[in-house]
Amino acid sequence: MKNPELVIMAAGMGSRYGGLKQIDSVDDYGHIIIDYSIYDAIKAGFRDITFIIKHEIEADFREIMDKHLEGKDVNVKYVFQELDRLPEGYSVPDGRTKPWGTAHALMCCLGTVDAPFAVINADDYYGAHAFEKIYNFLKNVDESDGKYHYAMVGYYIENTVTEQGTVSRGVCAHKDGMLTEIVERTKIATEGGRIYFTEGECETELAPDTLVSMNLWGLTPSYLRECYQRFARFLDENLDKNPLKCEFFLPTVISELITEGKADVRVLDNSDKWYGVTYKEDKAAVVEAFCEFKEKGIYPESF
> What's phi and psi for 227, nearest 5 deg?
-60, -45
Residue 176 lies in a domain: no
**Other CB atoms closer than 10 Å to residue 116's CB: what's the count?**
28
* Backbone conformation region of residue 65, classed left if phi is above 0, alpha if psi is from -120 to 50, else beta: alpha
CB–CB of 171/36 below 8 Å?
Answer: no
Residue 12 lies in a domain: yes
Q: What is the pLDDT of residue 86?
A: 96
Distance CA 258, CA 174 (A): 12
For the packed helices 250-259 and 221-238, what is the interaxial angle rounded to 10 degrees?
A: 100
Q: What is the pLDDT of residue 119?
A: 98
Q: Which pTM was predicted?
A: 0.90
The structural domain count of the chain equals 1
User: Please, where are the H alpha helices in 95-205?
Assistant: 102-107, 128-140
Residue 177 lies in a domain: no
- pLDDT tens digit sequence for 21-30: 556 788 888 8
- pLDDT tens digit sequence for 244-289: 999 999 989 999 999 999 999 999 978 788 888 777 788 888 899 9
- pLDDT tens digit sequence for 228-238: 999 999 999 99
- Residue ranges, the chain, pLDDT below 50: 13-19
Q: What is the pLDDT of residue 14?
A: 46
Distance CA 165, CA 187 (A): 9
Residue 246 lies in a domain: yes
Q: What is the pLDDT of residue 280?
A: 78
Domain CATH for 289: 3.90.550.10
Q: What is the pLDDT of residue 21?
A: 53
User: In which domain, by residue range, is 66 found?
Assistant: 5-154+210-295
Q: Tell me the CB-side half-sphere exposure of residue 70, using CA atoms within 13 A.
A: 6
**Other CB atoms closer than 10 Å to residue 182's CB: what's the count?**
26
Q: What is the pLDDT of residue 20?
A: 54
Residue 257 lies in a domain: yes
Residue 35 lies in a domain: yes
Q: What is the pLDDT of residue 210?
A: 94
